[in-house]
Structure 1
């Protein structure tokens, strides 16, 4: 479900943003989509954020425009969806913390700077690309993923494996 703030202007504008984000979200594993309560679309240029207790995330229209220009909206939606759907259950788990501690560092500087808040979302994105869409990452990045986070990669391999079927039809789109 999408909640579009009236400050986006017209219903047509809101629908355009909903369509972009829905398209990006359609690639999420079905269990993550089912767990996600809703997505809020706001007017403005703030950073995206997620609320794990409420199982939703918020995107701002100018940030969406930037992500579309940079071709990374899908990655942003995936990252925020991890916060909204997986963090609450897994980030404080012994299984995750053991995998994280056993690995050779962090996959991004953002994950390194906030290991308790951002590492799961950053690692999940790279793990998903590596495990579910082989060949999507450049070979040097793929090698880096396997060298830096082998234990987290194994964690996500089990987690994503438990989400079978990974993708299934969720229903038809509704109008704004």
Structure 2
């Protein structure tokens, strides 16, 4: 990781409008830029950066959490590299901008009270993730352990000890955004002609992780940085911002198009009685 801790973070300017990628690039031309070798990258992975891009003060669309009891659900567990039918604790998380999301917790949490306490780590934080990156998540599965998060279409799986570490680093929302891209946008965009063309035009990757799996991880890795530059540009130090804007302008433009697309979601249903 090559984060520059000494850079002063600039005040957040107004949001960029039409032609914002060009405006962003022009606004950063006076900032010194790093020269990166072809086989080097500004960052190892988004999970390892120290940037607090989605902050506690940002609004959340989370409304309440309802306990639905015990039920059988399939959960993929990275600790055993397998999928199991488990009698999970089932909660529904209600948001003001999308249908309710299931949160299922491994029975290893033992009691509904312990399961709720764990589920509540994610609810307000999920509500801070922009809807465009979140609306496709239908189920959040939670295990104990410190494994890395993973996701597929409609599903995200997280591990409680790793979540605690990400919370201590003010980075859980950023990790949820990354997995939300996998759950929500991958099927439509990661192998799309537009994204492939943007990769070829840029010719570089922002993270070593994206470069190692360009067909799988590049969209999720790039989306977080692009979102910050386009919506909260003051939250990444200016030298890092200049490098990001210079290295992947075509992919930032694709993410901007995604951000400007209104997600097609059903209106949320009223929460059930007793939802807290």
- CA–CA distance in 1 between the matches of 2:143 and 2:261? 34
Contact 1:29 1:163 in 2 (8 A): no
Structure number with greater Rg is 2
Tell me which of the two structures has the higher relative contact order, counting C-alpha pairs closer than 8 angstroms and 6 or more residues apart: 2
5+ residue gaps, structure 1, are none
The yes-or-no answer on 1:117 pairing with 2:216 is: yes
Q: Tell me the C-alpha RMSD between the 2 structures.
A: 2.4
Q: Deviations over 1:21-45 (max 9, x none)?
A: 1222112222443321110011222
- 147-156 vs 110-119, which moves further: 110-119
Superposition pairs of residues 9-158 of structure 1, within 5 angstroms: 9-52=110-153, 55-158=154-257
1:7 to 108, 113, 118: 108
User: Which structure's residues are more often helix, by fraction?
Assistant: 1
Q: Deviations over 1:11-62 (max 9, x none)?
A: 233222222212221122224433211100112222110012xx11100111
Contact 1:104 1:147 in 2 (8 A): no
Contact 2:210 2:217 in 1 (8 A): yes
Contact 2:134 2:177 in 1 (8 A): no
User: Which stretches of structure 1, 4 residues or longer, exceed 4 Å deviation after superposition?
Assistant: 168-176
The yes-or-no answer on 1:163 pairing with 2:259 is: no
In the comparison of the two structures, how many residue pairs are matched?
172
User: Which structure's residues are more often strand, by fraction?
Assistant: 2
Q: 1:169 to 1:130 in 2, by over 3 A?
A: farther
Contact 2:132 2:258 in 1 (8 A): no
Contact 1:49 1:59 in 2 (8 A): yes
- 108-117 vs 72-81, which moves further: 108-117
